[in-house]
Amino acid sequence: MAAIEPGKVRNVGIVGHGGVGKTMLVEHILHKTGLTGRLGTVEEGNTVCDYLEEEIERKHSIAMSLAHLEWKDGRIHLIDHPGYMDFLGEMASSAPLIDGMVIVVDASTGVQVGMDNAWKYAERFNVPRAFFVNKLDREHTNFDETVAMLQEAYGRHCVPLVAPIGEGSDLKGVVNIVNGDPANMPANAETLKETLVEAVAETDEALTEKYLETLELSPEDFSAGLQ
């Protein structure tokens, strides 16, 4: 394994309520990046992160586990966290040390206590965070309603970076709202993009002034504000 400069290593917590798909998200990332030859499942007990005998038997995580991948010229450590209240101490111990959180959301449910706990720890320790809306392939799920739920719970700055292509049994993938294929854009793409750009502009006074003057941001300004 090649040596990586410490400044190019990022520790990312995969967090959220129990059963929302955190372990399988990590499993898919590892498989998609070619680090595993076969996609494991929680049901079969052969995922990378749930390897303890008790985890395999219970079919859910009971302790943090680490997976890593090299991306561009850096390395990302993915830290899969258990989501049930019995194991809240795992998140409490890692939150002050990680560089970012991905809060996994089950689109078929509302705000759950594990999600709320993750957000509170991120707020307490000023951890950058993003939501990953999962299980949109299930019936009776709605991406826009899920986004509205998150905005009501955590603020209007919770805005989508990507949108689903189809929903339920018709889900085919996702599209980047800013520069994705126009053929795959949702009907409300322009509204989503405008909301996203406004949210990015509000992160910096200089960006706000630029946006008010032109009602747009350059790709460079957008990228800087997003970070």
Task: Tell me the CA distances in angstroms from 17 to 30, 84, 162, 200, one per residue in order.
Answer: 21, 6, 22, 28
> What domains lie within the chain, and their CATH numbers?
6-158 (3.40.50.300)
Q: SS3 for 105?
A: strand
Task: Tell me the CA distances in angstroms from 224 to 34, 175, 204, 218, 219, one per residue in order.
Answer: 30, 21, 10, 10, 9
DSSP-derived pairing of the beta strands 100-106 and 9-16:
parallel
What are the backbone angles phi and psi of residue 27, rounded to the nearest 5°?
Answer: -60, -45
Per-residue pLDDT of the chain (227 residues; tens, 9 = 90+): 567 888 999 999 999 999 999 999 999 999 999 999 999 999 999 999 999 999 999 999 999 999 999 988 899 999 999 998 888 889 899 999 999 999 999 999 988 999 999 999 999 999 999 999 999 999 889 999 999 999 999 998 899 999 999 888 889 999 988 888 888 888 888 888 888 888 888 887 888 888 788 877 777 777 777 77
Q: Length of the chain, please?
A: 227
3-state helix, strand, coil in the chain (%, to 5): 40, 20, 40
pTM value? 0.91
DSSP-derived pairing of the beta strands 74-80 and 65-71:
antiparallel
The string of DSSP codes covering 110-168 is: ---HHHHHHHHHHHHTT--EEEEEE-TTSTT--HHHHHHHHHHHH-TT---SEEEES-G
The string of DSSP codes covering 153-172 is: HH-TT---SEEEES-GGG--
What are the backbone angles phi and psi of residue 68, rounded to the nearest 5°?
Answer: -140, 155
86: tokens are: 């019995």
